[in-house]
Amino acid sequence: MTRMYKEWEDIDLLCKNRLKSRSHFNKYLNKEDALTYENKYSLGFKGLNGQWKFLFLKAPELSPKDFYLGEVNCDYWDDIDVPGNWQVQGYGNMHYTDLYYPFPINPPYVPTENPTGIYKRKFILESHWLKERTILRFNGVDSAFHVWVNALEVGYSKGSRMCSEFDISQFIREGENDITVRVYQWSDGTYLEDQDMWWLSGIFRDVEIIKENKVGVRDLFITTDFDEEYKDALLKIKVSLENTTAEDLSNIKILYELIDEDFNEVLRGSLEGNKIKAFSEEELYINEKVNNPKKWCSEEPNLYHLIVTILKNEEILEMIPQRVGFRKIEVKDGNFLINGKAILLNGVNRHDYHPHMGRTVPKEVMKEDVILMKQYNINAVRTSHYPNNTCFYELCDIYGLYVIDEADLECHGFELTGKYNWITDDPHWEKSYIDRIERVVQRDKNHPSVIMWSLGNESGFGVNFEKMAQHCRKLDDTRLIHYEEDRELKIADVYSTMYTRLNRLIEIAEDEKIDKPHIICEYGHAMGNGPGGLKEYQEAFRKYKKLQGGFIWEWYDHGILTKDKEGNEFYAYGGNFGEYPHNGNFCIDGLLFPNRTPSPGLIEYKKVIEPVKFQEGDLKEGKIKITNLYDFIDLSYGLIHWSINYDDKVLSSGILEAEDIRPGEEKVLNIPYKLPNSIRANTDYWLNISYRLKQDTPWAKCGHEIAFEQFLLPLAVIKERKVEKGVLKVEENEAYLHIAGSNFKVIFNNIFGNIEKYFYEGKDIIENGPKLNFWRAPIDNDMYVLEDWKNKYFLHKMQQITESFSWNQEEEYKVNIEHCVHIAPPNQAWAVKAKYIYEIYSDGHIQLTIEGKNTGSEYNAPEMLPKIGLELILKKEFNKVGWYGRGPGESYSDSKLAGKFGVYRSNVEKMHTPYIYPQENGNRTDTKWVSVTNLRELGILASCKDFMNFSIHDYTKEDLEEAKHEYELKKKDFVVLNLDYKQNGLGSASCGQDQLPPYKLNPQDFKFQLSLTAFSNQEISDIELSKKVMYRREE
Alpha-carbon distance 885 to 684, whole Å?
Answer: 11
Distance of CA 1027 to the CA centre of its chain: 41
How many H-runs (helices) and E-runs (strands) does the chain carry?
11, 60
3-state SS class at 556:
strand
Preceding omega of 554 cis (within 30 degrees of 0): yes
Alpha-carbon distance 904 to 892, whole Å?
Answer: 17
Amino acid at 714: P
Listing DSSP states for 386-401 in one string gives S---HHHHHHHHHHT-
Alpha-carbon distance 634 to 660, whole Å?
Answer: 5
The 10 Å Cβ neighbour count of residue 46 is 17
Alpha-carbon distance 658 to 813, whole Å?
Answer: 58
Burial class (CB in 10 A: 0-12, 13-18, 19+), 823: middle
Q: Mark 575-604 as b/e (b = at least 16 C-beta within 10 Å).
A: bbbebeebebbbbbbbbbbbebebbbbbbb
Alpha-carbon distance 53 to 76, whole Å?
Answer: 9
Phi, psi of 959 (to 5 degrees): -60, -45
Exposure on the CB side of residue 894, measured as CA atoms within 13 A:
26
Q: Mark 283-310 as b/e (b = at least 16 C-beta within 10 Å).
A: eeebeeebeebebbbbbebbbbbbbbbb
Residue 346: left (phi > 0), alpha (psi -120 to 50), or beta? beta
Alpha-carbon distance 924 to 995, whole Å?
Answer: 18
Distance of CA 222 to the CA centre of its chain: 32
Look up 212 and say whether it is catalytic. no
What are the helix (H) ranges across 287-429? 363-375, 390-399
Beta strands 450-454; 402-406: pairing state: parallel
3-state SS class at 843:
coil
The 10 Å Cβ neighbour count of residue 486 is 20
Look up 818 and say whether it is catalytic. no
The active-site residue, picked from 165, 522, 536, 709, is 522
Handedness of CA 158, 160, 163, 165 (dihedral sign): positive
The active-site residue, picked from 9, 132, 242, 458, is 458
Alpha-carbon distance 432 to 185, whole Å?
Answer: 18
What angle separates helix 390-399 from helix 430-444, to the nearest 10 degrees? 40
User: Which residues does the annotation mark as catalytic?
Assistant: 458, 522
